[in-house]
Structure 1
């Protein structure tokens, strides 16, 4: 563990030395390359080392490593923030800017974003105010790390008998651990939790599991989040912004909080009738199922009766569908789709020692054999691991060149982390159709990062505006719905047959099933996030979220719920930004229109997508990337159709 602490010390010392050299360049000799581009490289080198330590905190199987990396992350957050406030470095950038050199393209954008970042750090303010802003940033970084770690470390389960597993398939039951009394343990991990809530016939056990899940993160995280919200409001006020939402949206596509508020309000009003109708439908089904004419839907019923209604209404059997999606077949088919579309090849590399034996390492090459990048897959759950699905950037692709030199491109590296059931002998890990979408989505993030050709690391890969970053991967979820791509993604785990065309049609017809509920649930969290970062609140955060969910969803959450203690996005990054998941779907749906009508595997459209959306990162304004790919102004027609509000 001493090695991790030593690594943190080295990162800080190296950046100090590099920044010192940058500051010593005479003002008259400053150039874009030796000042602005050099600063970007210096900060990237430290950030890359930091990301690797932070990544280990999320994936290491060793608790002592996770604890040591957490301590190192806290130290690095404080020290790197301190270094970012070096007035000598700021003066160096201003000296270059004062030369008035005319810049174009990525260089012009990099200088503008660098100067804007300094303004957003308070460099235009009095020294004592800037110090307050700096200390505020340190506190927020430390609390955000603690918030996320508390969620990752949270463990709980319920114990059930074999009879209490009625409704669940044998393949699910075979994957459960058992206690010393022979009872089956259902954990809060995704592969256990979601199927149980959807299919377990025992309502009291569904309630017990839902109650435990609603307390993820614990009371401590409620305290941390309240402090984070307070610090964010103070930071915005110190910097002269109306509120935290205005501060966060300034450098995003939305540009201002008012635009976000109007967007969320419009969607909320449009989705209300859909939610009301869907709630009536599943309530009627519960009354029919239980024989109780007064029965109401509870928080632990929604997933169960939604699944039952879907199977009844569309003549679908979710378990039969899963038989066509063994994880290995989905992965191989997904690789073939992405390789065909994007003009690349993936080759697994063996013999490298990684953090766990389940992790797979691949290289990416163009069809001419040129090396492009590397990626890793860490797909199965284990104790202490990041509990959701995400793509982590470990090395940012960029052009590394010296003054007057050509340089070479540094290949990017990313890792997809997920928690899919691990295949074991006799159980090939059959995926739900939803999990197939998740796989396509997260691997889409990986492609966004590892196919970058951006020259500067801060503009590389998925380092885009937060309300655009999900759009490229969101668009790629559509490949889970098309006949042509499903032929590659499916292979029955016993017969080897692809999914039948009539089953695909049933899937497609059911695509808008409970779309009002799904959209409004995402809206509820986005509105909660926006509300706590724009309005003063006198009630506890858990009550703010509870009231929001009751108002918008029509179903009260668990009475013992501690949400938003387990709402990981609120720890940092997506604060005042959760709206982005819906905002970006406007662009994702519109971009997909180029692939429709038989072009889902068209290499020419894929080539344009790679060149315009994946390779450029944020070297251009995101709206211009979309315009370039579409060849026209984007619109929301396809998005409204995708959430049942078209026409």
Structure 2
């Protein structure tokens, strides 16, 4: 197919997306976008209106955004040398193009001129917000700068894109480069059978071992690594895996140390160029927190409230280990913390996380989650048949949303779903890709390939096209993939993001879906996690994979009793990430040359459990902060900020009914559908009838 990355097919024809087309296609998309931008900026000032200015600007870059989105999507899920090479070749040009848009004098003059017209002053609230947000984003990107500073800003954006991409690749490559092959089954003592089976299957897939003499392969991907750290009785095995994790982004060939300093320096220079004290103040202007000082105060205030509980939990774990190992209490090694924590939980609550796994087969979890979406939010989710076609092979799959037949996917494991509302209107579709692969980056995420919007003027409804991805426990030997409860919470979390996107019903695409302030974007995702702890909602999907029975009452009581086990430690871990993030961007962005590990310990010392062996800095593998030019940089506090909101908001469900359709519809209509069309604080008040209760998070965690 000619120019496959430029096609506007709703169902993406993945088999045509050969990396050899990327440079030509993206080059063509860049030319088309530049021509479209020029048409917007050169329009007759006497005839300009909201549609030709604000919507015109959005529409000018939409095809490029969608084409480049396919490239970055494949880079995350189907990484290969040829794709990486093509991505690298075009990344500077794409970054430079987007950096130049707000620096275009004619475009900025158009916006300023239009903003002073009577029509602009009389715009209805949503359109007025779209204009204001657009102009503010232009200012933050340098629209008011003199020519020499604009030129430097372009250079900074290009450098940041390339440096953060290299950082991301170092994390992926160093993760994939590590493996541990075990030939002696005795070393696996204590590991759940599910982890042993997965390690054996992984080794066999690599051609290692035989049925008579199996071998066991462990990697640094979460489903492989976590069971080792929590259950393996062989301390040397746990230590080896821990050492492997500490070398992600740190080993010589893939060392991210200097990249971290470079990224911080570039961001700081960008902020100062734009008249801000630091990068936190720059990016938080359009966040609920507004500035770095407010975000840092939020982190530090929460720290102060849970510090004593955190210290108490630390001492209790040290004493527990001492009692059971017949030793005097002492500091733990980092490879001992998860192991002894899991043992302590089992002792105190007679609860082992593995007891829940049989009740969470992935397909049943997904079906139950979709049933919940129908009951609570009036959404109907149906699976479409899919087909995987290798790149370059002919395909007869459907390409249009209204077309029958199978939908192409980028890997045989990927599923495709359609979403309809209560009026049976098709509002969007999404792909789901749940298991780890070497070509796939770690973690879990949601994204979109097409931004949808309701009908507007002569424009028909534009369907959302989203995706959710993760690295969950894979199926073994053809059996069901059985998830941990933590993995179930992650699935629900990403589904919450997806619902936020799919339910977006704002006529202005730039204000729709998840295009909201980043310290608000986690509210819909985190509120969904609450349904993983309620009996009424659990019964929709938590069913034993062999018997179909629900979680027994006795086991459920143990789950709830153990829910807040070491909750202060869990919160403190997240606060440490937020503290490190903000301090690096506010106070240490120019401390280049300092010892990164020593500085990190200095910053978050009071937030970490004291250990015999210090962990190297998380900064070298902290993709949220350093894998893109902005991402969650100076914004990791958002998780806890939004958790205060979700803990409070979910109390409405608890009071009025966990599966109460009225509350669910309220949440959909007042939060999910609104995107960034109104101030997020107002959206929260519209749903709850009041401002957030600051103590809600601590109360839920058993600390308030």
Q: TM-score, normalised by structure 2?
A: 0.88
Report the CA distance shift for 1:81/1:262 in structure 2 as closer, same or farther (over 3 A). same
Unpaired stretches in structure 2, ≥5 consecutive residues:
1-18, 386-405
For the Cα contact (< 8 Å) 2:451–2:464, is it kept in 1? yes
Q: Give the match for residue 309 of structure 1.
A: 344
Kindly state the Cα deviation for residue 258 of structure 1 after the two structures are TM-superposed: 1.5
Q: Give the match for residue 162 of structure 1.
A: 185
Q: What pairs with 1:172-571 in structure 2 (closer than 5 Å)?
A: 172-176=195-199, 177-178=202-203, 180=208, 183-218=215-250, 220-350=255-385, 351-399=406-454, 405-425=457-477, 427-536=479-588, 537=591, 539-556=594-611, 561=616, 563-571=618-626
Q: Give the match for residue 646 of structure 2.
A: 588
Unpaired stretches in structure 1, ≥5 consecutive residues:
none
For the Cα contact (< 8 Å) 1:215–1:560, is it kept in 2? no
For the Cα contact (< 8 Å) 2:102–2:142, is it kept in 1? no
For the Cα contact (< 8 Å) 2:625–2:633, is it kept in 1? yes
Kindly state the Cα deviation for residue 597 of structure 1 after the two structures are TM-superposed: 3.4
Q: Give the match for residue 623 of structure 1.
A: 681
Kindly state the Cα deviation for residue 576 of structure 1 after the two structures are TM-superposed: 0.7
For the Cα contact (< 8 Å) 1:358–1:378, is it kept in 2? yes
Kindly state the Cα deviation for residue 120 of structure 1 after the two structures are TM-superposed: 1.1
How far, CA to CA, are the matches of 1:23 and 1:549 in structure 2? 48
Report the CA distance shift for 1:408/1:558 in structure 2 as closer, same or farther (over 3 A). farther
For the Cα contact (< 8 Å) 2:671–2:683, is it kept in 1? yes
Q: TM-score, normalised by structure 1?
A: 0.96
Deviations 1:620-645 (A, max 9, x none): 11111111111222222322212333
How far, CA to CA, are the matches of 2:57 and 2:518 in structure 1? 23
Kindly state the Cα deviation for residue 560 of structure 1 after the two structures are TM-superposed: 7.3
Match of 1:573 among 615, 619, 631: 631
Kindly state the Cα deviation for residue 557 of structure 1 after the two structures are TM-superposed: 8.4
Q: Give the match for residue 17 of structure 1.
A: 35
Match of 1:145 among 165, 171, 187: 165
Kindly state the Cα deviation for residue 70 of structure 1 after the two structures are TM-superposed: 4.3
For the Cα contact (< 8 Å) 2:197–2:476, is it kept in 1? no
More moved, 605-614 vs 537-546: 537-546
How far, CA to CA, are the matches of 1:192 and 1:246 in structure 2? 39
Q: Give the match for residue 156 of structure 2.
A: 136
Deviations 1:34-80 (A, max 9, x none): 11121122233322222221111001164433443343334322233
For the Cα contact (< 8 Å) 1:54–1:73, is it kept in 2? no
1:115 equivalent in alignment to 2:150: no
Match of 1:124 among 144, 157, 161: 144
For the Cα contact (< 8 Å) 1:50–1:73, is it kept in 2? no
Deviations 1:202-252 (A, max 9, x none): 111111101111121235322111101011111111111121111111110
Q: Give the match for residue 637 of structure 1.
A: 695
For the Cα contact (< 8 Å) 1:373–1:413, is it kept in 2? yes
Q: Give the match for residue 52 of structure 1.
A: 70
How far, CA to CA, are the matches of 1:521 and 1:528 in structure 2? 11
How far, CA to CA, are the matches of 2:603 and 2:166 in structure 1? 26
Deviations 1:528-575 (A, max 9, x none): 111111113362323222334543223348557353111101113111
Match of 2:90 among 46, 56, 72: 72
Kindly state the Cα deviation for residue 338 of structure 1 after the two structures are TM-superposed: 1.3
1:391 aligned counterpart, secondary structure: strand
How far, CA to CA, are the matches of 2:621 and 2:249 in structure 1? 5
Deviations 1:430-459 (A, max 9, x none): 211111111111111111111111112211
How far, CA to CA, are the matches of 1:491 and 1:426 in structure 2? 19
For the Cα contact (< 8 Å) 1:299–1:556, is it kept in 2? yes
For the Cα contact (< 8 Å) 1:56–1:69, is it kept in 2? no
Aligned residues: 643
For the Cα contact (< 8 Å) 1:452–1:615, is it kept in 2? yes
For the Cα contact (< 8 Å) 1:549–1:556, is it kept in 2? no
More moved, 374-383 vs 154-163: 154-163
2:181 aligned counterpart, secondary structure: strand
Report the CA distance shift for 1:488/1:186 in structure 2 as closer, same or farther (over 3 A). same
For the Cα contact (< 8 Å) 2:102–2:143, is it kept in 1? no
Report the CA distance shift for 1:540/1:104 in structure 2 as closer, same or farther (over 3 A). farther
For the Cα contact (< 8 Å) 1:53–1:72, is it kept in 2? no
Q: Report the RMSD for the aligned CA atoms in angstroms.
A: 1.9
For the Cα contact (< 8 Å) 2:321–2:329, is it kept in 1? no
How far, CA to CA, are the matches of 2:615 and 2:307 in structure 1? 26
